[in-house]
Structure 1
Amino acid sequence: MNKQNLIGGRNPIIEALKSGREIEKILLSKGENKGSIKKIVGMAKDKGIPIQYVNKNKLDEMANTNHQGVIAIASAYKYKTLDDIMKRAEERNEAPFIIILDEIEDPHNLGAIMRTAECAGAHGIIIPKRRSVGLTSTVAKTSAGAIEYLPVVKVSNIGYAIDELKNKGLWIYGADMDGEDYYFDKDLKGAIGLVIGNEGKGIGRLVKEKCDFLIKIPMKGKVSSLNASVATSVITYEILRQRT
Structure 2
Amino acid sequence: MPPPPSKTPKRTRRDGAQARFAGGKRPRPGGRGGPRRDTGADGPHWLYGLHAVEAALRNDRREVHRALATPNAAKKLEDSLAARDLKIETVAPKHLDKLLGPDQVHQGIAIEVAPLPALDLGDLPDCSVVLILDQVTDPHNVGALLRSAAAFGAGALIMQERHSAPLNATLAKTASGALDLVPVILVRNLAQAMEALKERGYWLVGFAEEGADALETTAPRHPLGIVLGAEGRGLRELTRKTCDQLCRITTRDSLASLNVSNAGAIALHWAASQAETKS
Provide TM-score, normalisation by structure 2. 0.60
Instruction: Give, in angstroms, the shift of residue 81 of structure 1.
Output: 3.0
In structure 1, how many angstroms separate the alpha carbons of the residues matched to 2:224 and 2:235? 17
Note if contact 1:77-1:135 (Cα within 8 Å) is conserved in structure 2: no
Match of 2:12 in 1: 20
Note if contact 2:205-2:247 (Cα within 8 Å) is conserved in structure 1: yes
Task: After superposing the two structures, state which structure 1 stretch, 107-116 or 125-134, moved more.
Answer: 125-134
* Aligned residue among 33, 37, 41 for 1:49: 37
In structure 2, how many angstroms separate the alpha carbons of the residues matched to 1:166 and 1:21? 24
Instruction: Give, in angstroms, the shift of residue 78 of structure 1.
Output: 3.7
Q: Greater helix share, 1 or 2? A: 1
In structure 1, how many angstroms separate the alpha carbons of the residues matched to 2:189 and 2:13? 20
In structure 1, how many angstroms separate the alpha carbons of the residues matched to 2:159 and 2:252? 30
Instruction: Give, in angstroms, the shift of residue 86 of structure 1.
Output: 2.8
* Aligned residue among 262, 269, 277 for 1:230: 262
Match of 2:157 in 1: 125
Q: Does 1:77 align with 2:116?
A: yes
Note if contact 1:172-1:195 (Cα within 8 Å) is conserved in structure 2: yes
* Matched residue count: 184
Which amino acid in structure 1 is aligned with residue 244 of structure 2?
A: D
Match of 2:196 in 1: 164
Q: Where do 1:78-227 residues align within 5 Å?
A: 78-87=117-126, 89=127, 96-227=128-259
In structure 2, how many angstroms separate the alpha carbons of the residues matched to 1:21 and 1:138? 23
In structure 2, how many angstroms separate the alpha carbons of the residues matched to 1:201 and 1:223? 17
Note if contact 1:76-1:137 (Cα within 8 Å) is conserved in structure 2: no
Given the superposition, is the C-alpha separation of residues 50 and 150 from structure 1 closer, same or farther in structure 2, using an over 3 Å criterion? closer
Given the superposition, is the C-alpha separation of residues 47 and 179 from structure 1 closer, same or farther in structure 2, using an over 3 Å criterion? same
Note if contact 2:132-2:227 (Cα within 8 Å) is conserved in structure 1: yes
Identity, % of aligned positions: 30
- Please, what is the CA RMSD of the aligned residues? 2.7
Provide TM-score, normalisation by structure 1. 0.69
Which amino acid in structure 1 is aligned with residue 121 of structure 2?
A: L
Given the superposition, is the C-alpha separation of residues 80 and 186 from structure 1 closer, same or farther in structure 2, using an over 3 Å criterion? farther
Match of 1:28 in 2: none
Task: After superposing the two structures, state which structure 1 stretch, 75-84 or 209-218, moved more.
Answer: 75-84
Which amino acid in structure 2 is aligned with residue 224 of structure 1?
A: A
Instruction: Give, in angstroms, the shift of residue 134 of structure 1.
Output: 2.6
In structure 1, how many angstroms separate the alpha carbons of the residues matched to 2:205 and 2:231? 17
Instruction: Give, in angstroms, the shift of residue 83 of structure 1.
Output: 3.1
Note if contact 1:199-1:228 (Cα within 8 Å) is conserved in structure 2: yes
Q: Secondary structure at the match of 1:153?
A: strand
Note if contact 1:79-1:154 (Cα within 8 Å) is conserved in structure 2: no
Note if contact 2:12-2:35 (Cα within 8 Å) is conserved in structure 1: no
Which amino acid in structure 1 is aligned with residue 258 of structure 2?
A: L
In structure 2, how many angstroms separate the alpha carbons of the residues matched to 1:217 and 1:236? 12
In structure 1, how many angstroms separate the alpha carbons of the residues matched to 2:255 and 2:151? 28
* Structure 2: gaps (5+ residues): 15-19, 21-33, 40-98, 100-112
| Relative contact order, higher structure (CA 8 A, sep 6+) | 2
Which amino acid in structure 1 is aligned with residue 143 of structure 2?
A: G
* Structure 1: gaps (5+ residues): 25-45, 52-63, 65-73, 90-95
